[in-house]
Amino acid sequence: MSIAARVFLFPALLLVGALVAGCGQEAKEKKPAGQGQTPIRIAVACPMTGSGAAFGEMIQAGAKLKAREVNAAGGIAGRKLELVVEDDRGDTSEATNVARKIASDKSICLVVGHFNSTCSNAAKDTYNRVGIVQFSPGSTNVDVCRGSPWTFRNLYRDDYQGTFQARYARNVLKLSKVAVFYDNDDYGKGLMQSFCEEAAKVGLEVVAREAYIRERTQDFKTPLIKVKALAPDGVFVSGLYNEAALIIKTARQDLGMNVVFMGGDGLANDTLVKIAGAAAEGTYITTPFLFNTGQDSPEAKEFFAKFKQAAGRDPDTWAALTYDAVGMAVGAIRAVGDDRARIKEWFAASTAPEKGYRGVTGLTYFDREGDCYSKPAYVARVKNGQFLPAEKQLLDIK
């Protein structure tokens, strides 16, 4: 091979790779417009790469299922619904870029996203400035909707979740000393704080608060050796599934820590079990929604079956919440058209149960900030590698 050939071969290979990747992007959700009319476009912003990628898969699958159903039923007033999926990598600066791109595209009338609280917080300034509804099916940080008139969500906040978990740990699991690991971003810190505040009130001692940084912290043995010496009877992880899996696995397998592991809804993904394996058994997580509770609504049962058929796997909480978010967005567009400002007015007016949207995950309506208080938290426990409803729920705290 001559030098010239070598010089050209490598870039050529890369180019082919890039083209293959590019084609994949282009093919996504492009459908011919119905009756020659322009399609209605909704953006879906979520992490498709990075440490939240598994969430992104479920979010996309949920959104696509809803879009397919809407289009199969004739679209929205004869116009096709088209999804514009954007990858924010779970990263704040990328979320801002994605937000600018979406906001400046006038054909997009609403954003379903972002997932990570830290991304929603980073992106909301752009959405507010330009004026486009940001509807998150996953961000639980307290500040996401605060002072942001264009931001809404269809799940609980972390102050609710954290309080709930501290009470569950103390009153149901009877723990007395816990160590907390938290992801050093908006979600991890916010949830950790509300957990610790409530823990102090219910008499649950927090013996350690260990921060870590997603993707950067790859080995948890050092903080776990420290935590083990403090002899807690529980470990609470306020972060996402990958790091939680490593913490649980290292603690159980390598250090033989026989304690109760708990975590927030950031752990609610099968990847937790795939990485931690048998060590994940018995882990408690809270989630805004859960299947197979024995009291599933007909909507939830129907969605479960449809999703399984379409995606070839069981749906999770995030697929269901995104399915509902797209459903509610479609409801808004049906009612007021695809004008960004009028969609916002419709959302802002959905402040009571009778004006809300009933979907798979229950009823969604908002308070004045755009927060959603109509859904409880469920407790799931890993059993035989699956998230199943824990024996004891705690649905009545307010």
Give the nearest distance from C-beta 309 to another protein in angstroms.
Answer: 23
State yes or no: residue 54 binds another protein (CB under 8 A). yes
Neighbours of 101 (CB within 10 A): 15
HSE (side-chain half, CA atoms, 13 Å) at 281: 7
Q: Distance between CA 383 and CA 268 in Å, rounded? A: 13
**Using CB under 8 A, which residues numbered 247 to 266 contact another protein?**
249-250, 253-254, 256
Q: Strand 81-87's sheet: what is its strand order? A: 81-87, 40-46, 108-113, 134-136, 151-153
Residue count at the site for another protein (CB under 8 A)? 49
The 10 Å Cβ neighbour count of residue 3 is 7
Q: Which residue has the tokens 């459908």?
A: 31
Residue 138 touches another protein, criterion: CB under 8 A: no
Residue from 46, 59, 65, 246 binding another protein (CB under 8 A): 246
CA distance 37 to 106: 16
The minimum distance between CB 323 and another protein, in angstroms, equals 21
User: If binding is defined by CB under 8 A, does position 10 make contact with another protein?
Assistant: yes
Longest CA–CA separation in the chain, Å: 74
The pair phi, psi for residue 41, each rounded to 5°, is -115, 130
DSSP letter, residue 252: I
Among the residue ranges 121-129, 221-229, 336-344, 355-363, the one whose residues contact another protein (CB under 8 A): 221-229
The nearest distance, CB 157 to another protein, in angstroms, is 25
Binding mask 76-115 for another protein (x = CB under 8 A): ----------------------------------------
Whether the Cβ atoms of residue 267 and residue 235 lie closer than 8 Å to each other: no
Nearest CB to another protein, comparing residues 87 and 198: 87
- In 350-388, which ranges are continuous DSSP H helix? none
Instruction: State the minimum distance, in angstroms, from the CB of residue 122 to another protein.
Output: 20
386 lines the binding site for another protein (CB under 8 A): no
Q: Which residues bind another protein (CB under 8 A)?
A: 3, 6-7, 9-10, 14, 17-18, 20-21, 48-51, 53-54, 57, 184, 210-213, 215-223, 225-226, 228-229, 242, 245-246, 249-250, 253-254, 256, 271, 274-278
